Amino acid sequence: MVSLLHSMAAPTLPRRALLAALPGLFLARRALAFGDGSRFVPAVAQHAGRWNTRLSGLRRIAWELQRRTSVEVVAEARPLSLNARLFDYPFLYFGGEGDFPPLAQSEVDTLRRYLGYGGFVLADANDGSSGTGFDAAFRREMARVLPASPLQPLPSTHVVFKSFYLLDSAPGRLFTHPQLQAALIGGRAAVLYSQNDLAGAWARDEGGDYSFEVVPGGEAQRELAVRTGINICMYALCLDYKDDAVHLPLILKKRR
Amino acid sequence: MTAGDSTAWKLVSLSPLPGWALGLLVGAVVLGVFLAAVGLRREPSVGRRLLLLALRTVAGAAALFLLIEPGVRTLQVARVKNRMAVLVDRSASMGLPVTPGGGTRSAAVAESLLRMAPGLKALEERFNVELLGFDPALLPVSETVLRTVPAQGVRTDLLGALRALRATDTGGSKKLSGVLLFSDGADNAELQGGVSARARAELLALGFPVSTVQVGDPTLLDVALENLKVDDFAFVRNAVGVEVELRVRGLPGKDVPVVLEREGQVLGTKTVHVTGADETTPVSFTFTPDQTGRFVYTLSAPVFPGEAVTENNTRSFVLKVIRDRVRVLLVVGRPSWDERFLRGLLRQDANVDLVSFYILRTSSDDTQTRNPERELSLIPFPMEEIFDAKLSTFDVVVFQNFGHADQQLSIAQYERKLEQYVANGGALVAIGGDRALGDARTSYPILDRALPVDPVGQTASVAPYRVHLTAEGQRHPVTSVLPTAAASLAAWDELPAGSGVNLVRAKPGATVLLDNPSLLLDGKPAPVLALWEHGRGRAMALMTDDSWTWAFTVHRTGDPTRLYDRFWGNALRWLVRDPDLTTLQVSADPPSVEPGTPVGAVVTAREVDYQPAVGAEVTVELSSVRQHRVVATVRATTGPDGMVRVSFPGQPAGAYRLHATAKSGERVLGEGEDAVAVRTVGPELTDATVRADLLAELARDTGGKAYHLPLQGLPELPLLDPPVVEVGRSKDRPLWDRWEWLLLLATALGLEWVLRRRYGYI
């Protein structure tokens, strides 16, 4: 796996180049401005636990989305309470470290309506937990939000693994769970859940350095984590576009 | 009533004894003779034995004669005058000429009947001769009628006519002794395929002989299109098959082209090389209708000199072209929430077949890949395929925030095709954004002709605004999302604030349904949604990329109206001209008629709010497609249900279009179109064949004889003899009451007794 990850490693972007690119991003945004309404803005769910440890990662993945694809973004992470304002942001990041208290019933109801009407949640166990900590708490809350749509493993044939990059696993800062979990509503993955701390692989500190080591694959794994993030954002924006019949023959040929 | 009186006689028994008693007596006499024979079996002399037995037999016979009391009954009798029917085919094929340019088959029958007149007169001594036609109902005719009144029966049913004739045979003077049938044998009913076993049994059961006279020349020259097979309806953009049989007689070695046209437009030609004297060749066409509606299609073959029938060289049919699913091409400049919610809606709509292409990456994007071919799932944008080869297969093309300057993504070379696609009946939607309409990175001046708006030359306004439903929008089916205008207005007013609009002006003739009242352009609110008709097609422009909030953000407080779904549903139906979204509909009723039959149409008029338009003034024009002119106009007023039925006089064969307009007061309610076919030829004239074999078989099965014209007089006809009936009182003359019979009895008995004594038996 490691050798594969190395072979997939993309050119790294020097910190100076990144800093130099930031003003350009803002300039470009202004030139293309048509209001922020239709841009991709990662909203971040505020809950009573440690919800805000990966905000820089979300800014980073939005920036990568802008750089690598034709999607226009607002490279911010917008913290939101689980209330009606959610409906201004169809993409919601729900992450955390460790256990968090149960959501209020109104929050559960809002989240259920949000997902039912087309909202998308990317859940991320920043602590890499499994059966404890954030994982246990999130699964507990999801059982309340979508009791009829339990989280289930997402096969590598799902469109999220080909929505932009061709991938076959979803590593993050960790690589303990190769596959994502998903809660499906009418065939649409309304919730995608990673236990590998995706945003941890994306996060940078104020100096521009990556905040966390990526294990076990190092920088190649980080690139795959970014690509996974890009694919997830693309899936949130394009749904099953890459499952259209017109794409399948070429994609299957590439996968051979 | 009768054929003449005569006297007849017969032997009868005058005995008062009942029949059973006479039977017993006969038995006793036979027994007596038998016992005598038994008693004489040991008599050695054969002569004695025979003598005694003869005497006993004579005595017995004499006794019986006296007991039975025979007599002669004389009576006056007469023969009943039965019916003999001359049955003449009055189907339309009898109007065909016997020889090219000659008289009709009916006229030939009339002439033949004149020659047969003496013979028929002679038959009238024994039969009541009736001259009947069948078309297929029986009706009295005369030679004059045959000569002057065209035969117009829509089918030939020989067995049906004979069956009907048999039903008039109620016995007695109504009994049929025979039929003389004049026909070309061109049966297109039960005997079309020949005489089946069941038909033969029915012919045998008729009980009278049918002699046939074949009318017409079996060796004719004719080109006919027969046995047309096509469905009543087809799906737009799906291949339709048409099958027809080309029958060519008397033209060996000729090449005969068959042409398929739709209201004057040639769709295909197939040429058949004829080798035989009478050859039938199946010809099939496949075509793909590109428009919904009802259309008249015509198959035709050329008319050759000397053809027996020219009408059967052409066949017309009406095909209703419907859509199966609305096929939408969605071309997206880049992924966005506006695209995501539109895609979600279209994908879940079972009536929509969605084909989409998104620009996921431009040349300025850095994908951070060493081998993009293997690492990316992207495919080349197949512009040539979708904007050239397959463009006509789409009902609606949607450009969503699409307007790239990148050469690889520019559709400049296809904009003329796209504009023509709309002008020829397609539908185009342009959805705004920071790369579209006035904010596009490049301009497509030719394609822009199809759109209902012109950019004002400024970048988009990003000031928050609230969308407003215009007065036109309150009445238009696209934005009438709720049953009443007030409810629709409220629903649009309650939408979340938008984040920006492209700045455009509505073109003259465009209808603005939504606007931005907080932003004025030329003193008027900036258009947000506008539409119009371009050529035969329709186009719509939505000057914002935040319509996704109508689908999602609106749910933060609940959304009972489902406005977004209804809006796009209505828009697609309007764009593809869903008949249910037209305020005026006209339908041919029926869709095809026989030549000369009145052409009917039903007009349904509705107000802009889709309520029945009561008392609307409707004008319906009937136009000949071939002549390109209006041939009849009818005006009428709709009833309480908004409907009215109109009728046009019968028209010559061909394709026609109905065009209806309606006004309610000074307000125009709209217009509608439909097609109607006046059939070139019915089943009767399709086949000019003279079927001598069928007529001969029919005669043979019924005990008749088969002849063909010309005949110089009445031929020999097998006819049943009329039965004989008593017409006067009978008179009996006894034969038994004479002394000679008693003397014979006594002598025989006495002589036998004397001889038996002499021979020792007594």
- Percentage of residues of chain B with pLDDT beyond 90: 36
Confidence of residue B680 (pLDDT cuts 50, 70, 90): low
Mean pLDDT throughout A241-245? 83
pLDDT at B371: 83
**Local structure of residue A10 (DSSP, 8 states):** P
Confidence of residue B739 (pLDDT cuts 50, 70, 90): confident
Confidence of residue A9 (pLDDT cuts 50, 70, 90): very low
CB B614 within 8 A of CB B585: no
Q: Is A33 on the interface with B (CB under 8 A)?
A: yes
Q: Is A105 on the interface with B (CB under 8 A)?
A: no
Instruction: Choose the closest CB to A34 out of B366, B369, B439.
Output: B439
Least confident of A179-183, B99-103, B331-335, B336-340: B99-103
The architecture in CATH of the region B581-678 reads Sandwich (2.60)
pLDDT digits (tens, 9 = 90+) for B484-523: 888 899 999 989 998 889 999 999 989 999 999 999 998 9
pLDDT at B683: 65
Query: Right CATH number for B222-323 from 2.60.40.10, 3.40.309.10, 2.40.440.10, 3.40.50.1260?
Result: 2.60.40.10
pLDDT digits (tens, 9 = 90+) for B62-81: 888 888 888 888 777 776 78
Selected residue with higher pLDDT from B546 and B610: B546
Domains B222-323 and B326-575 share a fold: no
Strands B427-431 and A152-153: unpaired
Let me know if domain B326-575 sits in CATH 3.40.50.720. no
pLDDT at B264: 84
| Chain A contact set for B338 (CB, 8 A) | 38
d(CA B134, CA B442): 77
Q: Do A246 and B355 touch (CB under 8 A)?
A: yes
pLDDT digits (tens, 9 = 90+) for B706-718: 999 888 889 988 9
pLDDT at residue A28 tops 60:
no
CB A244 within 8 A of CB B377: no
Q: Please give the mean pLDDT across all residues of chain A.
A: 86
Domain of residue A247, residue span: 2-255
Confidence of residue B556 (pLDDT cuts 50, 70, 90): confident
b/e map B330-342, b = 16+ CB within 10 Å: bbbbbbbbbbbbb
Confidence of residue B450 (pLDDT cuts 50, 70, 90): very high
pLDDT at residue A19 tops 60:
no
b/e map A211-235, b = 16+ CB within 10 Å: bbebeebebbbbbbbbbbbbbbbbb
pLDDT at B64: 85
pLDDT at B212: 94
pLDDT digits (tens, 9 = 90+) for B366-421: 888 888 878 888 878 788 888 888 898 899 999 999 887 777 778 888 999 999 99
Mean pLDDT throughout B173-190? 88
- Percentage of residues of chain A with pLDDT beyond 70: 82
Mean pLDDT throughout A237-245? 88
Between helices B46-68 and B739-759, what is the axis angle to 10°? Answer: 150
pLDDT at B583: 77
**Local structure of residue B595 (DSSP, 8 states):** T
Q: Which amino acid is at A20?
A: A
Q: Do A90 and B337 touch (CB under 8 A)?
A: yes
pLDDT at B592: 82
pLDDT at B441: 67
Q: Is A69 on the interface with B (CB under 8 A)?
A: yes
pLDDT at residue A24 tops 70:
no
| SS3 at position B323 | coil
User: What domain count does chain A have?
Assistant: 1
pLDDT digits (tens, 9 = 90+) for B592-611: 887 778 999 999 998 765 66
Strands (E), B522-628: 524-534, 537-542, 584-588, 592-593, 599-605, 617-624
Please report, for chain B, the start and end positions of each structural domain, with discontinuous segments joined by +: 2-78+730-759, 82-218+689-721, 222-323, 326-575, 581-678
CATH fold label, B82-218+689-721: Rossmann fold (3.40.50)
Residues 396-425, chain B, touching A (beta carbon < 8 A):
none
pLDDT at A256: 59
Q: Do A166 and B373 touch (CB under 8 A)?
A: no
pLDDT at A25: 41
pLDDT at B609: 56
pLDDT digits (tens, 9 = 90+) for B127-160: 889 999 998 788 899 888 888 888 888 788 999 9
Residues 352-371, chain B, touching A (beta carbon < 8 A):
355-362, 365-370
d(CA B238, CA A89): 42
Q: Is A18 on the interface with B (CB under 8 A)?
A: no
Q: How many CA atoms lie within 13 A of B533 on its CB side?
A: 8
Residues 159-178, chain A, touching B (beta carbon < 8 A):
162-166
Q: Which amino acid is at B76?
A: Q
Confidence of residue A35 (pLDDT cuts 50, 70, 90): low
d(CA B252, CA B258): 16
- Percentage of residues of chain A with pLDDT beyond 90: 74
pLDDT at B379: 79
| Chain A contact set for B356 (CB, 8 A) | 241, 244
Confidence of residue B328 (pLDDT cuts 50, 70, 90): very high
pLDDT at A1: 33
Residues 121-160, chain A, touching B (beta carbon < 8 A):
none
What ipTM was predicted for this assembly?
Answer: 0.88
